[in-house]
A and B are shown apart, each in its own frame.
Chain A
Amino acid sequence: MELLAKGWSLTALKVYGWVVLALLAAPVLLLVPISFGQGQAITFPPQHLSFEWYTELVEDPRWGRTAWLSLQVAALATIIATILGTAAAIGIARVANPKLAKVLKMLFIAPMIVPLMVIGVGLYIVFAKLGLLGAVWPLAFAHAIVVLPFVVMPVMSRLTSLDPAFERASASLGAGQWWTLVFVTLPLLAPAIIAAAVFAFVFSFDEVVLAQLLAGPRFETLPRKIYESLTQDGLDKTITSIASLQLYLVLAGLGLHALWRRRKGRHKARSLSAAASAEKLQPDLNGLPEAIPPALVPLPGKALSMKDVSTLFPAPAEQRGFGIQFQRLTKFYGDKAAVEEADFTVQPGEFVTILGPSGSGKTTLLMLIAGFISPDAGRLMLGDRDISRVPPHQRDIGVVFQSYALFPHMTVAQNVAYPLKARGIARAEQERLVKWALNRVHMGQYAERRIPQLSGGQQQRIALARAIAFSPRALLMDEPLSALDRNLRVEMQREIRSLQRELGQTVIFVTHDQDEALNMSDRVAVMNEGRIQQVATPKDLYLAPVNSFVADFFGESNLFRGVAHADTLSLGGASLPLPARKSGAAVLCVRPEVVRLDDPLAPDWAFDGTVTDARFLGSLLRMEFATPFGPMVVTRQTDGLSAAPVVGDRRKISWVPAMSHVMAT
């Protein structure tokens, strides 16, 4: 942060800071030397040192008795407040209705806002009627109520900072609601819960108002006794030793915490550097799965040749995937259809990419398949089974999330074993499957690592291993590569593809990146404004798009809108030839690479264009022309022979009509 204070004002600020620090700390620290002073007089600095005020604590049984009572009350209050507060925090966070959630939030904050004395008087009247004064349990419950906001607030704040994908991931891996709560949500909340519990304990152990009102005369807690010796008997010096003891406890707790953090930090630093060095060596030390001939496994970091990758892969060794059928699947948000009548079929073992711009409804479609939302109309079939209304944890669909959603409190092996455990698979079988899944993604030696110790690419592999470990009926991937840098992304694309083929797995892959779609898919479903526009192989999508959106979104194109009569398109007084007969409004699509410039055999409909821009894009030369029909894009392979045109040059533009494509819209 850029400092807004510099020079003398910064110095003044710092001096001020240290003065306030001293003022905050001094009164507390002062108690320690005084507690070691001899005699009744409270003097600073003490004249003679002695332990008499500490031995007094042990010798006078009243202190022990009140302390034991307070301890009981505080322990009970802590347990009650922690359990109720955690339940309330998780519960409120799950309430969908915002108005209800707000009312609940207000209610659970109220005990912090309403003065203790008011709550105390109310409870006093009620407890007096019920004969509950002067007992441990009622006082503990009263303390718990007052401290509840201090549990609910931090736990909920921690909860909202967690990735919501954790819960979804757990469900997609086959865990029910309670299982997710116990094994995922609660462990992740642990730090906040522990801090809240400590606060609850300290509060209850120090509470005077409720203790005064709700405890009978023979029921004396430690703070109440301290309070009474402060106000009535003058100053009882024993309090200095009690306060000092509390200070020692706090300092000991602080020291332990610091020690624990340092150890954890060192541990983390060590394993991080190990991870980094291991990653460099990765190509050499990968334990390759034996079932697959080594040549077929694209090694990380080593690029395959530019030949058609698909010819390298044999038919799938296994056929695990099920087919998925979308039957006019529809989902509304309010009046707007987020997904409208999605109607297509994914074959078993097929790799289908759902491609669309953001807001096109592809995420909603994915959530429908995974089962986190339910369709308003239509059906979704997985194999022969209608899964439209099946909860996500019973769908057996592996999901790889954009954020990976690997559980940070578990090791790699525990993460991969999670879906197996949720299905109650025997331990030995679990171990075998974890090993199998990790080897499939070349992460065999990382089983005992913790998730934060892994790089992005490694996490991606583990997420994949976790999703295939339970042999799901289909795999769903939500932009899983978007967090990786370009080189790693291309490598992972290849690996995911090869894994999918080996396993014969059905994959639905969601992305907004058309290169990714082109690289990986058997077929691509292009989506826009909630509708599936076209489902086709990449080649068909490019050469025969069904409409101008697909033509424009999937690769670059020059579109001419006009009216078709037989095999010509009339627009603005001119006419262009069509590749097929058509009538009515039509759009002609001409891809940039099929446009010919100054063709000696140019037909008579050829028209002039002026170069407005020419750019060198590596293997391509990209030119923009101003033409009577509007701007056009033309690309050429850069072969080093033809000279690039200069801005302002005029060229005759034409193409072979058979290479163009005509659409209705």
Chain B
Amino acid sequence: MAQIEIADGVGRLKPSGPAQTTAWDLQRRRLTLSLMIPPMAVMILLFAAPILVLVWMSFGGGSTDADPFAGYRALLQPVYLRLLGFTLQLALTTTLICALLAYPIAYLMVNIESRFTQWMAITLFIALWLSFLARTFSWIIILQRRGVVNNFLVGTGITDQPLELVYNKLGVYIGMVHILLPFMVITLIPAMKAIDPAYVRAALSLGATPAKVFRQIYLPLSLPGLVAGSMLVFTLAFGFFITPAILGGGRAPTIVLAIRDQIQQLGNLQLAAATSMVLLVICLGLLIAYDRVSGVDKLYDRGGR
């Protein structure tokens, strides 16, 4: 204490300068630090380090005989460009369909007190907690050649031949939308709940038609939720493995499936690492773009579940 008192001489007035740290500040900082050290250590060791290794590996992994750019050069083959194109198209289409389907659902759940809200909440809960595998599997049962839909179509004579509904791109789209739709809805709900009903009432009282109020007031206010949900669904769809692998039946190859094959069948780690880099750059670019548009902080204070 004595030192501080001397250093602190009464009556000295500093116009500005760094705030003096006290025992309280020090304790706060020490606790923050001890809380952050374990997660940071694990993140660095098991997330940042492997990604750095991946970067290193994509340039040949230090072997002197190999061409350091062989992996990236191989990626310029049309087959990989097509793969990347299809993956982006799949992710974008899925995101768009999910947004269109989910918006009215979220609107209904937030704005109408009814049995629908309860039942939908239960359904979403089940959909989110039940395994992706089980949900993907059930679509095979429904869509396969002798599945529920085809049995019905052939049985009632609507079609003569069973339709090809699964083990192709159509099957992947159906499965992806089904699995990712709940994510979009649960991101939209808090964003819509945060809209003060007074805005809508005010706009209506000022003479705007309901359609105008929706377009000019409600939609813009709910846009942050839509952006956050789209971001979530897009990144999940972009890197999705289970559904394209199972429902695609080899006819809907995505870039993620290609990486798996590069490792398990070709055993070409450099190529796999280079392909991963492309995915990584796209996804991190998206994260930064999202941060610019709506701020990463928003993801952290959505007001809980």
Contact = CB atoms under 8 A, between A and B. Distances in A.
Nearest to A111: B47
A311 B104 CA distance: 68
Contacts of A246: 130-131, 134
Interface string B209-232: 011011000100000000000001
A335 B15 contact: yes
Contacts of B31: 94, 177-178, 181
B214 to A, nearest CB: 5
Given A17-B105, A106-B291, A202-B131, A30 B38 contact: no
Interface residues of A, number: 123
Q: Size band of the B side of the interface? A: 35 or more
Contacts of B123: 21, 24-25
Contacts of B170: none
Contacts of B135: 27-28
B168 interface: no
A304 interface: no
A268 B301 CA distance: 28
A8 interface: no
B182 interface: yes
B129 A253 contact: yes
B296 A109 contact: yes
A272 interface: no
B137 A195 contact: no
A332 interface: yes
Interface string A50-67: 000000000000000000
A4 B241 contact: no
A176 B27 contact: yes
B46 A106 contact: no
A104 B116 CA distance: 39
B286 interface: yes
A118 B304 contact: no
Contacts of A235: 137, 140-141
B130 A247 contact: yes
A242 B104 contact: no
A251 B127 CA distance: 11
Interface string A494-511: 000000000000000000
Interface stretch (A387-395, A466-474, A481-489): A387-395
A285 to B, nearest CB: 39
Interface string B147-189: 0100100000000000000000000000000100110000000
Nearest to B202: A2
B142 interface: yes
A115 B245 CA distance: 15
A377 B12 contact: yes
Contacts of B15: 332, 335
**Max chain B CB contacts within 10 Å: which of A106, A117, A198, A235?**
A117
B133 A206 contact: yes
Contacts of B276: 117-118, 121-122
Contacts of B81: none
Contacts of A5: 210
Contacts of B151: 44
B283 A125 contact: no
A208 B32 contact: no
**Max chain A CB contacts within 10 Å: which of B21, B139, B272?**
B272
A335 B13 CA distance: 12
B92 interface: no
A154 to B, nearest CB: 6
A498 to B, nearest CB: 33
**Max chain A CB contacts within 10 Å: which of B15, B111, B241, B303?**
B241
B284 interface: yes
Given A112-B235, A117-B241, A122 B302 contact: no
Contacts of A123: 46, 50
Interface string A71-108: 00000000010011101101110110000001011111
B20 interface: yes
Nearest to A242: B134
B51 to A, nearest CB: 5
Contacts of A254: 122, 125-126
B137 A374 contact: no
A391 B22 contact: yes
A28 B122 CA distance: 13
A209 B259 CA distance: 11
26 contacts: A16-B104, A17-B108, A30-B138, A31-B134, A34-B141, A42-B141, A106-B291, A106-B296, A109-B287, A113-B287, A115-B239, A121-B259, A121-B273, A123-B46, A126-B49, A141-B46, A154-B304, A156-B301, A157-B300, A160-B301, A178-B31, A226-B137, A227-B242, A330-B13, A335-B16, A391-B27
Given A3-B112, A27-B141, A247-B130, 9 more contacts: A28-B134, A30-B148, A115-B280, A119-B51, A121-B54, A142-B46, A157-B303, A181-B31, A205-B131
A-B residue pairs, 3 tightest by C-beta: A115-B239, A122-B50, A243-B134
Interface of A: 1-6, 13-14, 16-18, 20-21, 23-25, 27-28, 30-31, 34, 42, 44, 80, 83-85, 87-88, 90-92, 94-95, 102, 104-119, 121-126, 141-142, 144-145, 148, 152-154, 156-158, 160-161, 171, 176-178, 181, 192, 195, 198, 202, 205-206, 208-209, 212-213, 223, 226-227, 230-231, 235, 239-240, 242-243, 246-247, 250-251, 253-254, 327-328, 330, 332, 334-335, 341, 371-379, 386, 388-392
